[in-house]
């Protein structure tokens, strides 16, 4: 099987997900510190969304069709840099959620406090799911880069061993793709639960969006 065909058959398996940012809100039942922390999480969420925007993903298929393997490698490196940044911001969100949990102890309204803890709990679960998904997508791009490096050899120097290595990478990518699809489905479910918990909290705390 030609190396270009092998690669193109795998490209369709790369799935991308845009993350929705948290809503920003103000309310008299919530302290300013709580609001500031929540808004910071919102800003970080928007940054993650921008870094992982599928509309900004490189057109690897076109590059491979054009045999622009150097361009594909460079594009993948840029994408991996964004994925790593997103991963770092998700870690920061995790820390900010921990701060939010501490600040929720100062909410005097019992119903609002209970709802805030539920909302934070689902926020933590959502962030864990996002982190897992970004990690899997990073693995996909790392394997794609490894494949590009392999097929970037002169056609005359592309050996049977190279072909076998590319096929093996294809199998690994397929497996990671399967895991990523499962992680994406799990994330969708958690996000639905998080949105419901957030709405419950906003209603309990008489919140108003800005």
pLDDT recorded at residue 24: 44
Residue-number span of the structural domain to which 110 is assigned: 29-209
Per the structure, the count of domains in the chain is 1
**Beta carbons of 201 and 118 less than 8 angstroms apart:** yes
Residues of the chain below pLDDT 50: 15, 20-27, 208-210
Long-range contacts (CB closer than 8 Å, 24 or more residues apart) made by 194-198: 194/119, 194/122, 194/123, 194/125, 194/126, 197/115, 197/118, 197/119, 197/121, 197/122, 198/22, 198/23, 198/119, 198/122, 198/123
- CB neighbours of 44 closer than 8 A, spacing ≥ 6? 89, 92, 93, 96
Phi-psi region of 60 (alpha: psi -120 to 50; beta: other; left: phi over 0): alpha
Is 24 among the domain residues? Answer: no
Mind listing the pLDDT tens digit for each residue in 63-85? Answer: 988 989 999 999 999 999 999 99
Q: Is residue 23 part of a domain?
A: no
Q: Judge residue 159's burial from the number of C-beta atoms within 10 Å of its C-beta, 0-12 exposed, 13-18 middle, 19 or more buried.
A: exposed
Which residues are bridge partners to 208 per DSSP? 26
Asked whether residue 18 is assigned to any structural domain, the reply reads: no
Examine residue 16 and state whether it is found in any structural domain, yes or no.
no
In a domain, 158, yes or no: yes
Does 5 fall in a domain? no
Q: Determine, yes or no, domain membership for 80.
A: yes
Rg, Å, the chain Cα set: 21
Our CA angle for 110, 114, 116, nearest 5°, is 115
132-162 pLDDT per residue, tens: 999 999 999 999 999 999 988 888 888 899 8
Reported pTM:
0.80
Cα separation, 147 vs 173, in Å, equals 10
CA distance 96 to 102: 10
């Amino acid at each position: 099987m030609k190396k270009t065909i092998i690669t193109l058959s795998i490209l369709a398996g790369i799935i991308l997900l845009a993350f929705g940012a948290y809503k920003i809100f103000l309310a008299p039942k919530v302290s300013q510190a709580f609001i500031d922390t929540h808004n910071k999480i919102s800003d970080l969420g928007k940054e993650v969304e921008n870094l992982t925007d599928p509309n900004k993903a490189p057109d690897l298929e076109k590059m491979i069709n054009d045999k622009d393997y150097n361009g594909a490698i460079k594009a993948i490196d840029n994408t991996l840099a964004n994925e790593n940044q997103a991963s770092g911001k998700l870690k920061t969100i995790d820390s900010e959620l921990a701060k939010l949990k501490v600040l929720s102890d100062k909410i005097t309204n019992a119903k609002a406090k209970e709802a805030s803890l539920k909302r934070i709990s689902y926020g933590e679960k959502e962030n864990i799911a996002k982190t897992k998904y970004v990690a899997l997508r990073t693995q996909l791009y790392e394997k794609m880069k490894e494949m590009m490096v392999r097929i970037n050899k002169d056609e005359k120097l592309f050996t049977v061993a190279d072909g076998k290595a590319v096929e093996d990478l294809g199998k690994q990518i397929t497996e990671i793709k399967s895991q990523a699809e499962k992680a994406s489905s799990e994330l969708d479910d958690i996000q639905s639960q998080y949105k419901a918990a957030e709405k419950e909290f906003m209603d309990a705390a008489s919140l108003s969006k800005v």
